[in-house]
Structure 1
Amino acid sequence: MTPTQAFQEITSTHKGTFFQRMAQAITQWSGSSWAFGLALATVLVWAATGPLFHYSETWQLVINTGTTIITFLMVFLIQRAQNKDSLVLHLKLNELIAATKGASNRLINAQDFTEEEIAMLHEFYCLLAEKAKQDNDLGQTHTVEEAEENHAEKLQKHRA
């Protein structure tokens, strides 16, 4: 099955589970002006009722418990949204790498590399950046391998 066929199958048959739809709706709503307004109104009502309840421990406990529960649940929704956004970004970058002639396919799914592999690639790209600084043509780009070959050719020409 090609990626295009897989995408078509997913989008045509998969509308998401109830939890996915609910989490998406809550995430979108909680980032809205209405949600902020409701939170602000809740705090203002709570503060205004302070004299009525003589600023009791129970009065304080109500807001502390409510905000703690909401914060606890929102942390998971935020992390879920970040994970989804991160995965989508990786998929888009993978598509660009796969579709770009001359791009190194070794970087597809780079998010799954170990920290050591990422550090090694970072060193390669630092080297590539240094070699690019030596080029007079700012528009020219290279893969790591092309940069190594170009640099070796330049060194041979300068030595000759």
Structure 2
Amino acid sequence: MPDSTQSTNKASFFGRLAEQITKYSGTTAVFVGAVGIVLLWAVAGPLFKYSETWQLVINTGTTIITFLMVFLIQRAQNKDSLVLHLKLNELIAATKGASNRLINAQDFSEEEIRLIHQFYCLLADKAKADNDLGETHSVEEAEDNHHEKLAAHRND
């Protein structure tokens, strides 16, 4: 049975390596280097008589780099997305009156997301009817406020 601390260290090593490569690959120096390689390849074209091998070198190199970068970019996006969701969850949890139903909304099914979207569309319609977009946090509150305003107008 493999040692769990050893696999954790390997995972963290590869995680750290991927993070460092991701940071480095987005620098100006790497971009300038990539442009330099393409220019060098283009200049070398006449020396190799624009052969199939000459073309294969750039095609193979760019394909491999693109293939690997797709996974690094996806990893970075996944991490950024998770951090953004955590920050939003913290804001929801810390805001008085906010609906805790939306904490971890990124884990909801598409049907649940559609239902919540319909809920907020209804809430927005109610808020527009009251000419106040920031007063209520639930459909029930919006309906109650609307009825209270109607009653107040009737009593005037």
Quick check: TM above 0.5?
yes
Q: Is the 8 A contact 2:92 2:98 kept in 1?
A: yes
Residue equivalent to 1:54: 49
Residue equivalent to 1:99: 94
1:39-84 CA distances to partner (integer Å, 9 max, x unpaired)? 1000000000000000000000000000000000000000000000
Residue equivalent to 2:135: 141
SS of 1:129's equivalent in the other structure is: helix
**CA shift for structure 1 position 159:** 7.0
The whole-number CA distance in structure 1 between the counterparts of 2:84 and 2:36 is 36
The whole-number CA distance in structure 2 between the counterparts of 1:83 and 1:150 is 41
The whole-number CA distance in structure 2 between the counterparts of 1:67 and 1:22 is 21
Alignment partner for residue 30 of structure 1, among 25, 42, 49? 25
Residue equivalent to 1:10: none
1:15-38 CA distances to partner (integer Å, 9 max, x unpaired)? x81111111111111111011001
Q: Which runs of 5+ in 2 are unaligned?
A: 1-8
User: Which residues in structure 2 correspond to 1:82-93 (within 5 Å)?
Assistant: 82-93=77-88
TM-score normalised per structure 2: 0.85
The whole-number CA distance in structure 1 between the counterparts of 2:98 and 2:153 is 28
The whole-number CA distance in structure 1 between the counterparts of 2:108 and 2:32 is 43
Compared CA separation, residues 137 and 151, structure 1 to 2 (3 A): closer
Residue equivalent to 2:116: 121
Bigger Cα Rg: 2
SS of 2:48's equivalent in the other structure is: coil
Residue equivalent to 2:5: none
CA RMSD of aligned residues (A): 2.0
What letter matches 1:114 in structure 2? S
The whole-number CA distance in structure 2 between the counterparts of 1:60 and 1:143 is 61
The whole-number CA distance in structure 2 between the counterparts of 1:61 and 1:151 is 70
**CA shift for structure 1 position 155:** 4.9
**CA shift for structure 1 position 153:** 3.4
